[in-house]
Amino acid sequence: MTKSVEKNKAETTKEFVFNSKDFDRVRDLIYKKAGISLADSKQEMVYSRLARRLRATGVSSFSVYLDCLERESIGTEWEAFTNALTTNLTSFFREEHHFPILTEHVKNRKEKINVWCSASSTGEEPYSIAIALCETFGTLTPPVHIVATDIDTSVLATASQGVYNIDRLDKMSPERIRRFFLRGRGAQEGLVRVRPELRDLISFKQLNLLADVWSVNGEFDAIFCRNVMIYFDKLTQGKILKKFAPLMKPNGLLFAGHSENFLYVSDDFKLKGKTVYELASLHEIRKKATSNHSNKVDP
């Protein structure tokens, strides 16, 4: 059996017809809406996730569904469409090397510390930031405010509740769990909820990084934008980084994901450490100071 025959047979067994033209329309729509660049290999993933939306809305085909989206005639379906195509893989203290860098950066501050978690997903990342800063200051009420945003409203709802399966904390020490989480009992056995003091440090809000205006105010001591830029093309990445720069304090830090590299994307940031960036202006000041010190001749 040839590949083309196999492909046609597979398509006929699907509940909905979904061809390359439909896929191209989806890619164009999600790129314009959220800046996400879908690779050719994502066609089956797109079918699987959006087929659920066709069933939920009672639409009979992808072409009709996409026509309705373009006419904005399904009410809030744009939100559901975007939620369906965003990936929300996260965990507590993911890329753990970032947290000691953050705490060292702010530990001697007297003024309030502001952190923006720009892709908060289901909340594990902003709560990890909060835990790390509570431990740094030795209190559940440190001088900290964390803004946690995401384009996906459904994961934000989960984040705001702060309730997780106990298995999500398997890499966390028993002492840390006792201090920052409340265990469920009875019907809630096997679940944990973050302590209200931790929740009070965080403001959750919906935000599209592609929006012309962001509903956040700087200046931030740190911005976490980890494992989200990989879904954007270089042009979109550059635009977002340029908007980050004026929202940061002069010595602020930008934390990226392990597979993200901004060195050839933006002139606004320079690499400070492993997937940690600082404003280029501060980088040049430090570079110049180091150069002057090394060239200094003792009398």
Catalytic site positions: 49, 150
Task: Provide the 3-class DSSP secondary structure of residue 250.
Answer: strand
Burial class (CB in 10 A: 0-12, 13-18, 19+), 89: exposed
Strands annotated E in 118-260: 144-150, 163-165, 181-183, 191-194, 202-206, 220-225, 248-256
Task: Give dist(CA 222, CA 244) in Å, integer.
Answer: 10
Task: Give dist(CA 273, CA 87) in Å, integer.
Answer: 27
- Tokens 């530990």 correspond to 107
Give me 265's structure tokens. Answer: 């994307």
- Tokens 């501050």 correspond to 109
Residues pairing with 182 in the sheet: 193
Nearest Cα neighbor of 93 from 118, 134, 119, 127 is: 127
Taking a C-beta distance cutoff of 8 angstroms, is the pair 88, 125 a contact? no
Task: Provide the 3-class DSSP secondary structure of residue 163.
Answer: strand
Largest CA distance in the chain: 85
Residue 176: other Cβ atoms inside 10 A? 15
